[in-house]
A and B are shown apart, each in its own frame.
Chain A
Amino acid sequence: MHPILILVSQRIALGLLLLFAASVLIFAGTMILPGDVAQSILGQSATPEALANLRAELGLNEPPVTRYFNWLFGAMQGDLGVALTNGQDIADALGRRLGNTLFLAFWAAVIAVPLAIFLGLLAVRYRNRWPDKLISGVTLASISIPEFLIGYLLVYFVAVKLGWFSSVAMINDSMSLGDKLSAIALPVAVLVLVVLAHMMRMTRAAILNVMQSAYIETAELKGLSGFNVIFRHAFPNAISPIVNVVMLNLAYLVVGVVVVEVVFVYPGMGQFLVDHVSKRDVPVVQACGLVFAAVYIGLNMVADIVAILSNPRLRHPK
């Protein structure tokens, strides 16, 4: 077998193993804690009958291992159980919201990735001059402010003071794509700002690393312009680390989305999770946690696989 196939399949197997272990951890995180789940859901004043009912409903009378496997096999067949608070099917509600969240994250990625790479190249081209310094300064500022505050800053200045966009991002199926895009403009802008800084810094670092090679010096000596050296000679060799950074940041988007959705009252996964954490609806929280972990682990796995595939030494073994 081709060695690259072996490496890739090993990485996929590792990813699946990790996902399985993560599901154990998420399940254990809500079970093996001091105190009783039913008690903490209903509070101290609950009657014994109500507690017994809830325990039976949650299946708390069975041993944890049985419960875990029931839950896992259910989840694998797309059955995530029903929400405690309103008795609705979780998989159903989750599917719709996951679609909304991916819509948001997709547009954020479409804008952030090319912009980050371009600005990273720009920072390298004008290294240690004012464009580079400006970019680093903005980067430092944007990683020092939590996502929700960037969100409110934008709402305050763009939506309220300038009145360009709406301050809440409600979308539904009957809206046209244009309306939807206008509705999510602000949350997308926040997400872009959040991941842009990190991606740009890493792009800059990756290209600077390559810029120290001998062949770059040759290219400079034969008289190529600054941008040409970067585009034609440095960039292709920096693709692997850049793709890696892009993937890790997309994984980070998945987390950033939780907070941003709450800020803009966007009907996505993150809001769903936060709502049900405060209602102590454990089955919904577990399901959301599992989906978030799966996306996160999946993107990290893709990052590793791309790194393997983009390494010419592995693609063309001697």
Chain B
Amino acid sequence: MSRIPLSALVGLVFTGAYFLAAIFAPFITPYGMSEIVGDVWEPMSRTHLLGTDSIGRDLLTRMIYGGRTTIFIATMATLLSFTTGAVLGFLAAVIGGWIDQALSRFVDLVMAIPSLIFALVVLSVMPVTIPVLIMVMGLLDSTRVYRLARAVAVDINVMDFVEAARLRGEGRSWIIFREILPNALSPLVAEMGLRFIFMVLFVSTLSFLGLGVQPPNADWGGIVKENKEGIVYGIAAALVPAFAIATLAISVNLVADWVLNRTTSLKGGRGG
């Protein structure tokens, strides 16, 4: 493995820090998540590093717990979207015929409706809980993964080693998991970073609109919603999540770029 470039290293450090903060949230937060510890919108001070929020809870604590919820939902939704999208995409590419046609046209149809609008339509009749959010976001996003996975798998499916596996009588699941999956993994992993960011933005947007994570649970979009009235009075509490989301997004992007560059050069430019 060649040396890690500086930009990717910075990305890795920040991404790692966010994930660690999310995992160990209860141990590193100075106060309880919904514990009221001070006045409304206190400025930054030594006891409250980021100040307090609209009802006097410690903002740093809320941010760390919020990051935990946001990252958890985004990760689960990304995993769901990748499992569904990749399995269906590979199946469509390997089986072909009318199954491929039906799946691909259905995906075209879902992608013809903006995903935020479709998510809002579905959430208008569903109870807004975290599992429902993960399901809706993951399944809507799996259409994009499906397209990528199918395109990559169609390429690999006609290669000699897959033909050889077929001729020696391997079953369909062997072809998909032992022949196609290892070779399709690198473009999929690079895409995973971008989808993860998209999920973070998506869940923050939904929570900001009041249709995502419900109070008293915190997440980054929700923190903006709770503190937005303060902006008019010049209180910047609602802008703190902006910084968190942007740094997380940029650092994951840097890592994904590096993975993509590395894998494409390994494969002689194929698979990007």
Contact = CB atoms under 8 A, between A and B. Distances in A.
A binds B: yes
Interface string B196-233: 01000100110011110000000001001000100111
B231 A25 contact: no
Interface stretch (A95-103, A153-161, A170-178, A198-206): A153-161
B107 to A, nearest CB: 12
Contacts of A141: 246, 250
A22 B239 contact: no
Q: Main SS of the interface on chain B?
A: helix
Interface in B105-130: 108-110, 112-114, 116-118, 120-127
Given A140-B253, A152-B224, A160 B231 contact: yes
Q: Main SS of the interface on chain A?
A: helix
A278 B118 contact: no
Given A148-B208, A152-B231, A278-B210, A26 B121 contact: yes
Nearest to A145: B246
A281 B120 CA distance: 12
A283 to B, nearest CB: 10
Given A30-B125, A280-B125, A255 B114 contact: yes
A30 B109 CA distance: 17
Interface stretch (A47-55, A217-225, A292-300): A292-300
Interface string B231-263: 111101011011001100110010000000000
A289 B121 contact: yes
Nearest to B121: A289
Interface of B: 108-110, 112-114, 116-118, 120-127, 197, 201, 204-205, 208-211, 221, 224, 228, 231-234, 236, 238-239, 241-242, 245-246, 249-250, 253
Interface of A: 18, 21-22, 25-26, 29-30, 33, 35, 37, 40-41, 140-141, 143-149, 152-153, 155-156, 160-161, 167, 251, 254-255, 258-259, 262, 273-274, 276-278, 280-282, 285-286, 288-289, 292-293, 296-297, 300
